[in-house]
Amino acid sequence: MSREITSKNIDDKLKQKIREISGEIVQQCMQCGTCSGSCPMIEHLDYSPRLLMALLQWGQAEKVLGSNTAWICASCHVCQARCPRGVEIPRVMEAVRLLKLRANVNHIEPSNLQPEEIIDLPQIAMVSGFRKMTS
């Protein structure tokens, strides 16, 4: 990815928005990468949790919102449990998701689930999936 940062691509409100939603201060991250080393989804993310935190620190809204990272996150909290800086990264991921969901945009469409999937899915999967990924 391009990591060029210019005055044109910095969203200086991004950190504040994330803080308002999550209560977390992304600047507290010291980029140690423990989260990325712990994340069970790491090989499937286009930006690792560490890199996502960096992009947030740099106000790279477009990259953050365009990445799959928050949408693959399963809120397992292992990053939070191990973060030496006490950053509650799952909350940051939730805030990133909510930036999209609160604009009334669904990430998954309940209506598009196939009947053969719904027959098998336990209720707990749909309740949790819809909570995390629908607006």
Partner 1 sequence: MSSTTDAATGVKPQVAAKMIPIFVMGKKYEVPDSLTIMKAIEYAGYKYIRGCGCRGGVCGACSTVYRKPGDYKIYTGLACQTVVEPNMYLTQLPFYPAIRATYNFEDLQGRPEEIYELYPEVFRCVACNACTKVCPMDVQVMDYIAAIKRGDIKAAAEISFDCIQCGLCASRCFAETPQYHIAQLARRLNGAYLTPRAEHLATMVANIEAGRYKTGLEELKAMNAETLRKTYQERELEPATAGDDWTPKDTRYL
Partner 2 sequence: MKIGYYPGCTLKTKARNLEESALAALKVLGVEAVELPRWNCCGAVYSLADDDLIHLIAPVRDLIRARESGHDTLLTLCSMCYNTLARANDIMKNDAEKAKTINMFMDEEPDYDGSVKVVHMLDFMRDQYGWDKLKEKVKVPLNGFKVGPYYGCTLLRPKEVALDKVDRPIIFREFMETLGAEVIDYPMATQCCGSYQVLGAPDITLKISHDIIRDALAHGAEALALTCPLCDFNLGKRQDLMIGKFDGAKDMPAFYFTQLLAVALGLPVEACHFDLNRSSALGILKQKGLIKEASAA
The two three-digit tokens of residue 76, written as one number: 């397992």
Torsion sign, CA atoms 25, 28, 31, 33: negative
CB of 98 to partner 1, least distance (A): 15
Nearer to partner 2, 33 or 107 (CB): 107
The DSSP annotation for 5-50 comes to: --TTS--TTHHHHHHHHH---GGG-----HHHHH-TTGGG-SS-HH
Which value, to the nearest 10 degrees, does the dihedral of the CA atoms of residues 110, 130, 61, 84 take? Answer: -150
The footprint of partner 2 on residues 13-52 (CB under 8 A) is: 20-23, 40-41, 44
Q: For residues 8 and 131, which CB has a smaller minimum distance to partner 1 in the complex?
A: 131
* Number of Cβ within a 10 Å radius of residue 101: 17
Q: Does 124 bind partner 2 (CB under 8 A)?
A: yes
| Interaction partner, residue 41 (partner 1, partner 2, none; CB < 5-8 Å by kind) | partner 2
In the complex, least distance from residue 55 CB atom to partner 2, rounded to whole angstroms: 19
Interacting residue ranges for partner 2, rule: CB under 8 A: 20-23, 40-41, 44, 71-72, 74-78, 80-82, 88, 90-91, 93-95, 98, 107-108, 113, 120-133
